[in-house]
Amino acid sequence: MKRSAPLVLLLSATLLASQEQIAPPENKYTPAQDVELGLQAATEVRQQMPLMRDDLMSSYVEELGRRLTAAIRPDLRHSEFRYSFEVVNVREINAFALPGGPMFVNRGMIEAAKTEGEVAGVMAHELSHVVLRHGTAQASKATKYEVGQVAGAVLGAIIGGGWGQVISQGTQFGLGAAFMRFSREFERQADIEGSHIMARAGYDPRDMANMFKTIEKQSGSGGPQWLSDHPNPGNRSEYITREAQLLRVENPIRDTRTFDQVKAHLRQLPPAPTTEQATKNRGRTTGTSGRNTGVPTGRVDPPSSSFRTYNEGNLFQVSVPANWQEIQSSSSVTFAPSGAYGQNNGQTVFTHGVEFGLGRNETHDLQTATDELIQSLANGNPNLSRASGYQRVNVADRRGLRTVLRNRSEVTGQDEAIQLVTTQMQDGNLFYAIGVAPGNEFSNYQRVFDRVVGSLQLARQR
Ligand SMILES: [Zn+2]
C-alpha cells in the first residue's frame, strides 16, 4: 500500500528541547525480558482473540505503526524490541500494547475514530507505554505473589476486564493488571511522550485528546475498558493541548484516503462481536489458574469444621476449612470446596468460598479504595448491589471495612451474597477478602467467613 509522505517534517531541535523530556521509570527487568514476556502474552492473545486477517486492515495498522515507531525518540529505541500491529475483530473501543512491542487495536476503536489522527493518537499513547517500559516497571514493584503466570494474567485482564464475574480471577489485580492498567503518573508520561511521537510522525497531538473524549462518550455496554486501564490523570485534554501548542505541528497529516477506505470496508463487514461473544467458545485451557477445573456443579459439601493453615509466602497467612482447596492465580488465591469452582463462559468463577487478593491503591483512603473495588466489580455485574453500608472491623490488627453485596449468579441464576472485607497493607495497597455463598446459605457461611478472616495475619513489611 502506498501512502503519501507526511508533509510535516522534523521539528527543529530547539522546539523539541523546550518539551518535557520524559525519563523512563526504574525497572528491574531487562529489555530482553520485556520482549520475552510480551511475546508470551501475545501468543496467547493470538490464540484466544479473533484477529482480522485482512490485507487492507493489516497493511493499514502496520503502516501507521511503522510511521509511529520511526518517530520514537532515539534514546528510547530498544534494538531488542519487535513491534507488531494487529487488529482484533471485536467491537469494544479498546487497544493494548504488550511489553517489547506487540500491539493490538480493536476494530471497535477504528470504527469509533473520526480521523486517522485519532487512531494514531491511541497507538502513539500505547507505543509510549512500550518504549518507556511501563509494564515491567510496574511489575518491578510487584511481589512474588503477584508475579505468576504472565500470559494468563494478561489475557484475564483483557478478556475479563469489563465483563468478569464478580469472582473472576486475574482480572482486576496482579501482574496482568500491572501490564495493562497503568498508574496516573505513567498515563501522564504516555500522553506527553505520545504527543511527541505524534508530532514527529506528522500528526496533531490534539487528535489524541479528541480520541480520549470520543472514548469517554462512547464507552458502551461493557464499561470503558480502555479508560479503566488508562485512567485520566486529570486535565488530560488541557495538557495535551498545551503540549500540541508547544510542538506546533503545522500541516498535520490530513490525507486520510486510506482511513476512509478502511472505514468503508469495515461498514461492509458483518458487525464485530463483543469480546465476550468472541471468546466464549474458545476454551481457556491456559486461563489464569492454569488448571482445568471444569464447571461448578453446585453440589458442594458443607465447610469442614476442622481448619488448616495456609501460608502465602511473604504476604499473608490464613486458616480455612480443611475441605477447601486452594486455587492459585497470578493475582489472587481462592479457597473453595470441590464442585464450587470452575469455568463459566470463559470466566473462572466460584459459587462458595473465599478469595484473597491485592489491589493497587495509589493515594486513596481505605473507603475510597474499597468503593473503587466495588465499582470495578459492578462494572461487569449489572445485578450487583450493596446490601449493607460499611461496618468498621479489625482485620489482622489493622483498620478494616466490611460490607455485604448481593448479586445474581450467572452460574446458578440464584441470588448470591458476597461479604467483602478490606484493609490496607503498609504500602497503602488494598488487601481484600471476598466470601461468596448462595443467598439462602449465607448465614451459615458468614460464620465461616468471619472465622477465616479472623485468622488472617498480614506481613508487616508490606
Ligand atoms: Zn495509558
Q: Which of 43-57, 182-196, 278-292 has the highest mean pLDDT?
A: 182-196
Cα 257 to averaged position of ligand 1 atoms, centre (Å): 28
Between 279 and 442, the higher pLDDT residue: 442
Categorize the per-residue pLDDT at 17 as very low, low, confident or very high, splitting at 50, 70 and 90: very low
Report CA(129)–ligand 1 centroid distance (Å): 7
Ligand 1 center to 189 CA (angstroms): 9
What is the model's pLDDT at position 5?
34
Q: Measure 390 CA to ligand 1 centroid, in angstroms.
A: 32
Q: Which backbone phi and psi does 311 adopt, to 5 degrees?
A: -120, 120
CA of 182 to the centre of ligand 1 (A): 6
Mean pLDDT of all residues in the chain? 79
| DSSP-based three-state secondary structure for 433 | strand
Return the pLDDT at 162: 32
Q: Give residue 408 CA to ligand 1 midpoint distance, Å.
A: 33
Comparing CA positions, the residue from 208, 223, 149 lying closest to residue 179 is 149
The rounded Å distance from CA 194 to ligand 1 centre is: 10
pLDDT in tens, 224-263: 678 777 888 889 999 999 988 888 777 788 768 999 999 9
191 CA → ligand 1 middle, Å:
7
State in Å: Cα 128 to ligand 1 middle. Answer: 8
Q: Which residues of 165-181 are buried (b: 16+ CB within 10 A; e: fewer)?
A: bbbbbbbbbbbbbbbbb
pLDDT band at 343 (very low <50, low <70, confident <90, very high): low
CA of 461 to the centre of ligand 1 (A): 30
Ligand 1 centroid from CA 213, angstroms: 14
The answer to whether 449 and 363 are in contact (CB under 8 A) is no
What confidence tens digit (pLDDT) does each residue in 74-113 have?
999 999 999 999 999 999 888 999 999 999 999 999 999 9
Highest mean pLDDT among 145-159, 361-375, 440-454 belongs to 440-454
Query: Would you place residue 209 in the very low, low, confident or very high pLDDT band (cuts 50, 70, 90)?
Result: very high
Q: What is the C-alpha separation between 249 and 254, in angstroms, rounded?
A: 12
- Residue 168 — pLDDT band, cuts 50, 70, 90? very low
The answer on pLDDT for 391 being more than 90 is: yes
Sign of CA dihedral 233, 177, 416, 420: negative
Query: What's the gap in Å between 162 CA and the centre of ligand 1?
Result: 17
- Centroid of ligand 1 to alpha carbon of 419 (angstroms): 32
| pLDDT tens, position by position, 264-302 | 999 999 999 988 788 765 543 333 333 334 556 667 888
Judged against a pLDDT cut of 60, whether residue 215 lies above it is answered with yes
Distance from Cα 454 to the centre of ligand 1, integer Å: 38
Adjacent-strand bridge partners of 391: 402
| pLDDT for res 329 | 60
Ligand 1 centre distance from Cα of residue 261 (Å): 28
- Which pLDDT band, with edges at 50, 70 and 90, does 182 fall under? confident
CA of 318 to the centre of ligand 1 (A): 36
**Calpha distance 261→450 (Å, rounded):** 60
Of the pLDDT bands very low, low, confident and very high (cuts 50, 70, 90), residue 9 is very low
pLDDT at 296: 64
Amino acid identity for residue 163 in this structure? W
Ligand 1 centroid from CA 406, angstroms: 33
Answer positive or negative: Cα dihedral of 434, 440, 441, 443.
positive
Q: Give residue 136 CA to ligand 1 midpoint distance, Å.
A: 14
28 Cα: distance to centroid of ligand 1 (angstroms): 21
pTM beyond 0.75: the answer is: no
Q: How far is the CA of 397 from the centre of ligand 1 (A)?
A: 36
pLDDT beyond 70 at 166 = no
Asked if pLDDT for residue 63 goes beyond 60, the answer is: yes
> Ligand 1 center to residue 222 CA distance, Å?
19
CA of 239 to the centre of ligand 1 (A): 15
pLDDT at 134 over 50: yes
